Structure 1
């Protein structure tokens, strides 16, 4: 598999006609209302929906296809996700274009054989790139900004039936089982697509999403919280060794934020730590169970240290320290018990039982951009959160 994933401009034996690319079983009988969208529209692929379900799709008869080339522009900071999918024969033959590690990845199933190829330039630099997928004889070619980015060659001695029936295309998801993919990947992608020309088709696409989210004119790296959603993690996923402290770091312009930045809570206990920004007063409130500290200094970085408990601390009063230095606020908690079997929320206030925010959501959720989030020195991937809604995990409006 590792060799196939690194194939670039090489021949893999079997044939493929790009005209046979389409999409799976669609929306028959699901009861969802659909709206028509132009294939040339600017759309945000990371919109909240079922994880693997495409954002929009279209269906056409194979006999109506006028070309075997599709092109579009894409912009993202996200290193992984599904861009473009298609199949025929109700998902028997299929094609998936995605990013993996920031680079293009094509996966193709044809005549009971699945191949994959990855390589070319990394595209998660936040710039608009033009991608073109075409079929040239026995080769499927992905061009990036006018240059060959990835080539897959296929040939077979098996006689293929004449193609007939429907061709279906999709953006931002797949309609086959994810287990059929040769290379596993996370599907949702914080990306924008525009100026699509899909097999020279002019028919409209369909979307089950009532209102398509806009794409910001300019973006910067970071995680954007629009004020109505947050990300929750079970703290057990971070695998902190017994006796070790926990370090959480946040970067951003905290003067521009409003709402709950972070909260830590164990079941049945009060929140061990809550950080709240107030954009009107330019204050940052830090609450450690019972202690409340209000900071008015401009901050660019927050450092939170949960100290590991030790047997010597059992009978001692546990204290917390709040230290401000050079635009960095260091919060040191005198215990880490709340971290065990607890939850960490980025962008919201944890409630009881459900783990969701309580009270007025508008005053509890964060509005603003966190440029970088780290736990134990490693970047935090919001795509792996237990729950997040309406959050752009890899980009902020600039």
Structure 2
């Protein structure tokens, strides 16, 4: 119709054949463009017919010519995230705000609030501690424990199963500890997990001479035994150079084969003592000058016709009368057995005056029964442990390979329920770790003092002195006093009365042990579990110990490792400075 009324095309002929006489009539005849509906049914609000065209009026949240496109309000730059505080969910023609798990929607339908699960459900973590966090909660356990959500409880973590330690790992509730075998020369490194060799911080002069016989090789028994059967000798004689700092002990003991006669050369209070017994007489004589000065002294004992002559440095110091020969001849032979540094069997009770047979000293240049060294040199040369150190100083030496045990009563005389442990130590360590003094009860160590000045009760450290280097060529003096309610520790730097919150509790453990039986160990620990104490390495170096005012004589110990030297200590290696 409209085409017929285009400009320049309207004619009477057309007019006569057209059903619509004019343009208005033709326009009115155009059908409604909104029918059928051209707009998106979900997005349109109204369709407006425009005569040969249409206009879709969109609902809020829709756009497009036909309202076919949803507006994503969640991405509207003018209204970030649709105004939602957490989650914005776009929907056809609209959107809605929602909250993450652990949050609830506020009344404004946009903002979220955290749910405190620990308050809503107090037992949600069982025996663990509930900690509320934004949107969630956590069940917390103490360090060394992990949470089991099934049983709702804290369970110990076995760190040892994870190979945390280089050598020994001991797991305990809530933690673990690493230990190293100190007796094999290892100590715990700074990372508290790996082990490292115990370093020597003060080298010592350990040079030995095979021509020097060491008299203290054995703690029990004799060092050397010789048997003589001589046809042309009728009298006893012995000559030797002797060096010691020890004040008492047996140098030489000789006896007849039938044990009826014997002769003893010993040291008492630093002086030569002679004891002998045969069928004619029994005698004991002590005299001469003090020779336990660490110097070499020539000693000679010679049986004369009617006396026994004792000389030191070729000067007569004793002349002992005797009626007959010391030993009877057997079939024209003088048959004797000679023992160095000790007594055979159990003859101590047979002596005229008892003596501690142990003697830390050296002999050289010996001549027995006028037979010279008579094969002794070859015997000594074969065994390193029979050799003497070339140079020594006064003191006791712990080589880091054993301990000495003492039996000491620490109870007060006036009060049997009370006890006191007062210990002073003069030390010159050659390594920077090791147990110096310990009280042991069964498999436990109720008290120990270790380098580097560490005091422990069982496996708990109750006092530690930091930054104190004792590895020096000079001796250091340490003291400590401990009772049931007090601990005092004195070092070269200061004197402290130790106090801590746990001290009284730890001293109570010690007090309980002191009411039972405790053994005193010097220089290390016996065979106790690694975990019994923080340090288990042997002490290495020189050390002298006094307990409750009395100096401990290692010759009088209940037991002592043979390598420990009771009265001689190696000198510091020359040209070595203490660190």
**Bin of the TM-score, shorter chain as denominator length:** 0.7 to 0.9
Aligned to 1:343: 519
CA deviation vs aligned residue, 1:54-73 (integer Å, no higher than 9, x gap): 21122232314398542101
Match of 2:394 in 1: 221
The question of 1:80 aligning with 2:254 is answered no
Q: Is contact 2:252-2:340 (8 Å) kept?
A: yes
Deviation at 1:168, TM superposition (A): 2.7
Structure 2 spans left out of the alignment, 5+ residues: 1-209, 471-475, 572-579
The 1:165–1:287 alpha-carbon spacing in structure 2 relative to 1, beyond 3 Å, is same
Say which of 162, 168, 173 aligns to 2:337.
168
Give matches, 1:264-283, under 5 Å: 264-267=439-442, 270-277=444-451, 283=452
Aligned to 2:559: 387
| 1:44 to 2:239 alignment | no
TM-score normalised according to structure 1 size: 0.74
1:370-397 CA distance string (max 9 Å, x none) = 0x21111111111222221121111111
Q: Structure 1 residues 263 and 137 mapped into 2: Cα distance closer, same or farther (>3 Å)?
A: same
Q: Which residue of 2 aligns with 1:23?
A: none
SS of alignment partner, residue 445 of structure 2: coil
CA 1:319–1:240: 2 relative to 1, 3 Å: closer
The answer as to 2:423 corresponding to 1:248 is yes
Question: Counterpart in 2 of 1:12?
Answer: none
Q: Give secondary structure in 2 for the equivalent of 1:271.
A: strand
Deviation at 1:254, TM superposition (A): 4.3
1:57-206 counterparts in 2 under 5 A? 57-65=225-233, 69-155=237-323, 164=333, 166-175=335-344, 177-202=347-372, 203-205=374-376
State how far apart, in whole Å, the 1-side matches of 2:217 and 2:289 are: 26
Q: Contact 1:57 / 1:207 at 8 angstroms: preserved in 2?
A: no
RMSD (CA atoms): 3.3
Most deviating of 239-248 and 160-169 = 160-169
CA contact (8 A) 2:478 2:490 kept: no
- 1:292-311 to structure 2, matched below 5 A, reads 292=462, 293-299=464-470, 300-307=476-483, 309=484
Q: Report the counterpart of residue 7 of structure 1 in structure 2.
A: none
Distance across 2 between alignment mates of 1:358 and 1:144: 54
> What is the TM-score of this pair, normalised by structure 2?
0.52
CA contact (8 A) 2:478 2:492 kept: no
Q: Which residue of 1 aligns with 2:405?
A: 232
Q: 1:207 to 1:114 in 2, by over 3 A?
A: farther
The alpha-carbon deviation at position 184 of structure 1 amounts to: 0.3
Conserved 8 A contact 2:311-2:317: yes
Aligned pair in 2 of structure 1 residues 223, 325: CA closer, same or farther (>3 Å)?
Answer: closer
Indicate if the aligned counterparts of 2:480 and 2:488 stay in contact, CA closer than 8 A.
Answer: no
Alignment length, in residue pairs? 335
Residue of structure 1 equivalent to 2:122: none
**Greater length-normalized contact order (CA 8 Å, ≥ 6 residues apart):** 1
Q: 2:538 aligns with which of 358, 362, 365?
A: 365
**Superimposed CA distance per residue, residues 190-243 of structure 1 (whole angstroms, 9 cap, x where no aligned partner):** 11111111122143138699543331222112111111111112333x564333
User: Which residue of 2 is the match for residue 286 of structure 1?
Assistant: 455
**CA separation in 2, counterparts of 1:170 and 1:384?**
20
**1:147 positional shift:** 1.2
Question: Structure 1 pair 357/387, CA: closer, same or farther in 2 (3 Å)?
Answer: farther
Contact 1:218–1:397 under 8 Å retained in 2: yes
Indicate how the Cα distance of structure 1 residues 396 and 330 shifts in structure 2: closer, same or farther if over 3 A, else same. farther
The offset of 1:265, in angstroms, is 2.7
Partner of 1:179, secondary structure, is: helix
Give the distance between the partners of 1:197 and 1:135, measured in 2 at CA. Answer: 14
Question: Is the aligned partner of 1:397 residue 2:565?
Answer: no
The whole-number CA distance in structure 2 between the counterparts of 1:129 and 1:235 is 35
Structure 1 spans left out of the alignment, 5+ residues = 1-39, 278-282, 310-317
Residue-by-residue CA offset, 1:337-383 (whole Å, 9 max, x unaligned): 2334212211012444xxx9899xx962111110x211111111112
Distance 1:165 1:137 in 2: 15
> C-alpha separation between the residues in 1 aligned to 2:242 and 2:530?
34
